[in-house]
Structure 1
Amino acid sequence: MDFARIDRMKTGLLGLAIAGLVIGLGLFLAGIEDLAHLVWTLGVLPVLIALLVEILRSLRAGEVGLDIVAALSMSAALGFGETMAAAVVAVMYSGGTFLESMAEGRARREMHDLLSRVPRTATRHRNGGLEDVPLDDIQPGDLLLIRQGDVVPVDGVIASETAFVDTSALTGESLPVRLTQGAETMSGSTNAGAPFDLTATHPAKNSTYAGIVRLVEEAQRSKAPMARLADRWSLGFLIVTVVIAGAAWGLTGDPIRAVAVLVVATPCPLILAVPVALTAGLSRAAHFGVLIKGAAPLETMARSRTLILDKTGTLTDGRPQIIRIDTQNTHSDTDILRFAAALDQASKHPVAQAIVAAAKARGLSLPLPTNVVEIPGEGVSGRVDGHAVVVGGTDLIAQHVTGPAPRPMRSAGSVLVALAVDGQMAGHLVMADPLRAGTQAMLAGLRAQGILRIVLATGDRADVAERVTEGLGLDALRAGLSPDQKVLLVLTERKNGPVMMVGDGVNDAPALAAADVGVAMGARGAAASAEAADVVLLVDRIDRLGPGIEIARSARRIAVESVVAGIGLSVLGMIAAAFGYLTPVQGALLQEVIDVAVILNALRALRITPTGLLAAE
């Protein structure tokens, strides 16, 4: 769909409607009434034609929207010579559609920026050199170079001696996996270690990542469309309008009374108040780092009652952290961290970088290591402050120490990093991917906002998921799930009401697309999940989900309040017009007063401030 062309068309229609109304008013005040009526008519016709095309499209899809009332009022006003009233209605209608288009266009622009980082090429060995080729050109048997940080473009087998890959986006396993020569790896994994060679076994279109993309597309096609708040009110309002207008004409024989009723009945509170309130809500949510892709997702977000959460990168940070330091001999935990971090400065392994970050967070001064030798997949050796230091896996350390190398107890999902200093075991750093800070308080806040059921869905092992989420009071935990199983879970949970799904990995993308509202962690999450989602958290903080829901519910409440007040006043105006107390032009002016009132009320959504938000500004 050409969104840019649609946006330009809506902008043009609004411009024509405003120009027609303003120029016509000028001509009318100058006494050139015939030309004024012609200008008003010319300003209305493009809006009316576009509106009729939209109505026909909606009717073919089996939908009845508020557009019919606006078309009736413009058509009747033109038909009976009330061109000024028709021009006012045209401005109001085109203004409302322009506001919705503006909000959705901004969301699309931000998403384009977010997804521009997606790689489109791969590096292939060819004739003793390297070449960058489009993904579609890769064939089985091609030898590819996967640099550090690259996403594996196709399924294949490891051609180098070892490789470290981060599969968290696919499987939910939070720590990198060591693979040896001949081992299979999936597209969508990330190289977390030194560069390695990969022999492609499938073309890009048949690889794991492509299969997940197809699953996303299928989920989006099967997803029930989100009903707009305004359209849910429109059918009832249309019936009331037609009954009052028909009664006014039939009982009095005066068609102008019916026109006046239709003009007053133009659903401007629905056309304007709803998009104004929801657009303000979208803007307010973006201020707090929550990108909502349009008014319909915001409405559904406000009505969601079931929340499904991924684990790795969502409830947890997705990066290894030190949870405990075990010391031996005379070394303190500070000594162990300082020696390990100083040596790990020479390594780009994610575990090594996490150790360095932990040391810097403690304010430790790290000397530069010398004589550094890194053994891929095993560890690093070198000298720090004149001491021989080795840091890495327990098997490597056992080869460099005299005497026994005891291993401390570790819980499920954690890893041990051992340290030897001058040939003696110094201690261990126990690392894991713990819950994000404040997770329990965040979940309690979501329940207070109306989320009735919270479910964890992860591709990680059950024992790891249970340990990490212990004490959170989840309603259910589903572990070891594949992408299609996550989709099935979303569909199953719909029996409890609208479902919101939060995730960050490639394996979450199909479930995000299938959910009533998909929420992606966009700061460090996979581009596929951000593209499939309806909402993207632009900052790497799951605690922004609560404020996002609160803003959505407040904006929807303000929209409903504006609609109820505006429609109530419009019905009173329709009754007055039916009894002959209002002409069509007077009805249009009255509708303007109502519009101003409901818009001012709707703009209160710009001042929504989520309660309990940390670092709100």
Structure 2
Amino acid sequence: MRLLYSQNSLVFALGCLALAAGGVAWLVGRAPLAQWLWLAGTLPALLSVVVDTVRTLRRRDLGIDVLAVIAMAGALALDQALTAVIIAVMFASGRALEGFARLRAQREMTALINRAPRTAQRMDGGSVETVPLDAVAAGDRLLVRAGDVVPVDGLIDSASVVLDESALTGESVPVTRRQHETVCSGVVNAGPPFEMRASTTAADSTYAGIVRLVASAQASRAPAARMADRYAAWFVPLSLALAGIAWAASGDPVRALAVLVVATPCPLILAVPVAIVSAMSSCARRGILMKNAGALEHLARAKTLILDKTGTLTTGQSELVSVRSEAGNTPEQLLTLAASLDQYSGHVIGQAIVGAARRRGLAPLPASDVQEQGGAGMSGVVQGQRVLVGALDYVLDGLSGTPAWPENFLRGVAEEGGSAVFVAVDGALAGALHLADPLRVEAPRALRRLRRDGLERVVMLTGDHHQIAEAVGTALDVDDVFAEQTPANKLTVVTAEQQRQITAMVGDGINDAPALAAADVGIAMGARGATASAESADVVLLVDRLDRLADARHMAGHGLRIAGQSVAVGMGLSLVAMVAAALGWLTPVQGAVLQELIDVAVILNALRALALKPERGTRARLSQEQWQQLEQEHEALLPMLDRLASVADRLPDSGNQAAMDDVRALYRELTETLLPHEQADARQLYPKMADMLDGDDPLATLSRTHQELFALCRRLGGVLASVPEAADAPTESVAELRRLLFGLATLWRLHFAQERELFQSLV
């Protein structure tokens, strides 16, 4: 692109020099010399456009540049050297301006390549040495200095780091990462130096893959070329016909030349590629990489969206859903004991449990005599207690007696999806953990935005069984669900949907690669996704968030509309000028100048696509720090929600005094902790949120949920007050207490989920 821009700039410079020198020669009375100078200035542009036209004709396309060839050749044949050189200058200036605009539009993508690190600071003992990036191996300890680009993917060894992830995510606010968290190559250290341990080589790192994808995107041929060819099929014959009519009607070939001049070089071949590449650059700035320009057109026009479930609609990672604790154990104690053993395991479920404990402010304890049985569970001693963590059969082995609740717990986990981890302490079953791959917080909002933006059909594919798939599909209101799908089945579904209308496919795994390649536009989720899916896809979302897909479609549609506006206005003005030239109102020189003004106008209009931004419904935004604070507050309250369900499960029909004491203790905690939190939200947080949102009362739904929660709590207190503390509760009171506890647990989890979705939409 830079070479082509330089060539066009040279042709433009030679044309300008020849035009100026010829003008001087003509003014001093050297007309023959002026003619030769103008001829010399025309030939480089004529040669350049002839070469391009021959290439186009070899592809059996009628390129729009043929008009420029005819116009310049015709001017020379009619001894109109001045007209010819002006056409050459205007044509070369248009091409140079187009090249400059495309370079400017590709700046965001080029910046991604130029900032790729070349070296790394490897730590060897107490010394630090600078080594080539290719010399870094997995397991190497690296030092990332302040302002350095992280060279490879790895794990953070320092307590905490501050990173600028804007190059990958488009978010300008630095984020804080903690020890043992993953850090991606390509982000910038925005704080003090920190240490990390490489987990991949440079070639396999996130940023290296992004650089390869960017190089592919820049090398792609824009669909604008195909669009120009389609328009050329009728525009070139129309121009030639109008020129012929003007010649025949007037008997003056110069009038025909004037018609061809104003038809050259045509805004079509300038505006469309500039608008398309500008839109691609705007998308890249938001962490959305279009590998080829055709992807942008297909994404904007797609009517069917096919989504893989795992890793696309869900996070792709196990997270703690709930904790069931038996008498004598709180959910916090149970989770701490499980994490204390799992911290010694590399299993993904174990790491999910450890992560959940740390997010809730629970520190895993040291354990001894730790043993792991692959695929079954772990055992060890924690603070003098013998603890077993794992599958039900593993935990129950050797225990005397089996309670009834584990089977019910397993049945509920199977219906909702996920896995169950049981915990036994000193020979007794102490409780269980429910872990699942949850829906992405932004998924419902992203699908609503996509439908609002013209998407007509949403289909979900998954390898999970029908029960789990239908539950997810119902939650997201998709149009069709295909469960238990193999890669071959997914390919079949994509092919069938393509028969109806333009289809986009979103996935993140290796098994999605064939379907992504077959779709009209394949979209890979996240820069950390499988290499095969990223290479098969046409669009890669560098940020692991589904709402970026809605951003991409919104900006792609606006980019195409800007291109269409430029074409319509530019070609409309050209047609008006052609009619004026045919009527003799414009000379060839005047037509060339007018055409140049039209070209400049449409290119400037096309460059508006550089300023494209995602659709936003709010006037203000939450910072990452505010979002993290809100998340931490919710995490701290989740154990209390677990206790609501656990106490309700353990509540016997007889309502004995010990069980009632548990309910009363829980009620006191609700009134002292959870209710004050919600009241503070209603008085302090919600008014601030309302100022960021449109509408008269945008948080009315959340406020209504508060009213229901407060009412249930009051009802719970009333039932407890009706039961004397020294007596067992009657059966009808126990049933009411159980109903209220389960209702509070369910409604509060729903309320937290609603708040999370709202808060994340403001980040």
TM-score w.r.t. the length of structure 1 is: 0.74
Q: Does 1:376 align with 2:379?
A: no
Question: What does residue 53 of structure 1 align with?
Answer: 54
Q: Determine if contact 1:293/1:535 at 8 Å carries over to the other structure.
A: yes
CA distance in 2 between counterparts of 1:463 and 1:110 reads 43
1:13 is aligned with what amino acid?
Q
Q: Determine if contact 1:340/1:391 at 8 Å carries over to the other structure.
A: yes
| Structure-2 change in CA distance of 1:255 and 1:9 (3 Å) | farther
CA distance in 1 between counterparts of 2:474 and 2:114 reads 38
CA distance in 1 between counterparts of 2:103 and 2:534 reads 21
Moved more, 40-49 or 357-366: 40-49
Q: Does 1:512 align with 2:516?
A: yes
Q: Deviations over 1:500-553 (max 9, x none)?
A: 111111222122122111111132221111111111111101111111100011
Which of 447, 463, 478 is residue 482 of structure 2 equivalent to? Answer: 478
Question: What does residue 255 of structure 1 align with?
Answer: 253
Q: Deviations over 1:537-580 (max 9, x none)?
A: 11101111111100011111111111111111111111122223
Q: Determine if contact 1:20/1:42 at 8 Å carries over to the other structure.
A: no
Q: Determine if contact 1:48/1:90 at 8 Å carries over to the other structure.
A: no
| Structure-2 change in CA distance of 1:20 and 1:522 (3 Å) | farther
Question: What does residue 411 of structure 1 align with?
Answer: 414
Cα offset, 1:19, TM superposition = 2.9
Q: Does 1:458 align with 2:462?
A: yes
Q: Determine if contact 1:310/1:503 at 8 Å carries over to the other structure.
A: yes
| Structure-2 change in CA distance of 1:369 and 1:34 (3 Å) | farther
Q: Deviations over 1:371-410 (max 9, x none)?
A: 3322222222223344332222222211264432634232
Which of 15, 39, 45 is residue 9 of structure 2 equivalent to? Answer: 15
State the aligned residue count: 500
Question: What does residue 529 of structure 1 align with?
Answer: 533
Cα offset, 1:439, TM superposition = 1.7
Which of 605, 615, 622 is residue 611 of structure 1 equivalent to? Answer: 615
Q: Does 1:488 align with 2:492?
A: yes
| Structure-2 change in CA distance of 1:230 and 1:101 (3 Å) | farther
Question: What does residue 598 of structure 1 align with?
Answer: 602
Moved more, 33-42 or 435-444: 33-42
- Name stretches of at least 5 consecutive residues in structure 1 with no aligned partner: 1-6, 115-148, 150-224
Q: Determine if contact 2:566/2:605 at 8 Å carries over to the other structure.
A: yes
CA distance in 1 between counterparts of 2:488 and 2:3 reads 39
| Structure-2 change in CA distance of 1:373 and 1:12 (3 Å) | same
Q: Does 1:334 align with 2:337?
A: no
CA distance in 2 between counterparts of 1:29 and 1:382 reads 95
2:607 is aligned with what amino acid?
L
Question: What does residue 34 of structure 2 align with?
Answer: 33
Question: What does residue 301 of structure 1 align with?
Answer: 299
Equivalent residue of 1:561, what SS? Answer: helix
Question: What does residue 161 of structure 1 align with?
Answer: none
Q: Does 1:92 align with 2:132?
A: no
Question: What does residue 539 of structure 1 align with?
Answer: 543
| Structure-2 change in CA distance of 1:527 and 1:36 (3 Å) | farther
Cα offset, 1:604, TM superposition = 2.2
Q: Deviations over 1:216-271 (max 9, x none)?
A: xxxxxxxxx99844444332322321221121222223333222222211244212
Q: Deviations over 1:284-341 (max 9, x none)?
A: 1112211112332211211111111111111111111122211112212122222212
Q: Determine if contact 2:262/2:591 at 8 Å carries over to the other structure.
A: yes
| Structure-2 change in CA distance of 1:420 and 1:23 (3 Å) | farther
Question: What does residue 43 of structure 1 align with?
Answer: 44
Equivalent residue of 1:325, what SS? Answer: strand
Cα offset, 1:462, TM superposition = 2.5
Provide the alpha-carbon RMSD of the alignment. 3.1
1:47 is aligned with what amino acid?
S
Q: Does 1:556 align with 2:555?
A: no
Question: What does residue 446 of structure 1 align with?
Answer: 450
Question: What does residue 204 of structure 1 align with?
Answer: none
| Structure-2 change in CA distance of 1:9 and 1:609 (3 Å) | closer
Q: Determine if contact 2:442/2:761 at 8 Å carries over to the other structure.
A: no
Question: What does residue 286 of structure 1 align with?
Answer: 284
Q: Deviations over 1:148-185 (max 9, x none)?
A: x9xxxxxxxxxxxxxxxxxxxxxxxxxxxxxxxxxxxx
CA distance in 2 between counterparts of 1:78 and 1:369 reads 92
Moved more, 65-74 or 582-591: 65-74
CA distance in 1 between counterparts of 2:353 and 2:599 reads 60
CA distance in 2 between counterparts of 1:423 and 1:506 reads 43
CA distance in 2 between counterparts of 1:260 and 1:78 reads 13
- Name stretches of at least 5 consecutive residues in structure 2 with no aligned partner: 26-32, 117-152, 154-222, 618-759
The structure with the largest alpha-carbon Rg is 2
Q: Does 1:568 align with 2:572?
A: yes
Matches within 5 A, 1:203-214: none
Q: Determine if contact 2:109/2:284 at 8 Å carries over to the other structure.
A: no
| Structure-2 change in CA distance of 1:314 and 1:68 (3 Å) | farther
Matches within 5 A, 1:234-245: 234-245=232-243
Cα offset, 1:85, TM superposition = 0.8
Question: What does residue 138 of structure 1 align with?
Answer: none
CA distance in 2 between counterparts of 1:337 and 1:43 reads 77
| Structure-2 change in CA distance of 1:607 and 1:418 (3 Å) | same
Question: What does residue 127 of structure 1 align with?
Answer: none
1:565 is aligned with what amino acid?
V
CA distance in 2 between counterparts of 1:14 and 1:277 reads 20
1:351 is aligned with what amino acid?
I
Matches within 5 A, 1:161-200: none
Equivalent residue of 1:418, what SS? Answer: strand
CA distance in 2 between counterparts of 1:411 and 1:378 reads 18
Q: Once the two structures are aligned, what percentage of the paired residues are identical?
A: 44
Q: Does 1:499 align with 2:503?
A: yes
Matches within 5 A, 1:92-131: 92-93=94-95, 95-96=97-98
Equivalent residue of 2:517, what SS? Answer: helix
Q: Determine if contact 2:19/2:38 at 8 Å carries over to the other structure.
A: no
TM-score w.r.t. the length of structure 2 is: 0.61
Question: What does residue 440 of structure 2 align with?
Answer: 436
Judging by fraction of residues, say which structure has more helix: 2
CA distance in 2 between counterparts of 1:518 and 1:353 reads 32
Equivalent residue of 1:291, what SS? Answer: strand
Cα offset, 1:71, TM superposition = 4.1
Q: Deviations over 1:343-393 (max 9, x none)?
A: 212111111111122222222233343333222222222233443322222
Q: Determine if contact 2:303/2:456 at 8 Å carries over to the other structure.
A: yes
The structure, 1 or 2, with the larger RCO (C-alpha pairs under 8 Å, 6+ apart) is 1
CA distance in 1 between counterparts of 2:308 and 2:535 reads 17
Question: What does residue 273 of structure 1 align with?
Answer: 271
Q: Determine if contact 1:228/1:299 at 8 Å carries over to the other structure.
A: no
Matches within 5 A, 1:346-425: 346-399=344-397, 401-404=399-402, 406-407=406-407, 408=409, 409=411, 410-412=413-415, 413-425=417-429
CA distance in 2 between counterparts of 1:375 and 1:294 reads 49
CA distance in 2 between counterparts of 1:390 and 1:66 reads 76
Question: What does residue 345 of structure 1 align with?
Answer: 343
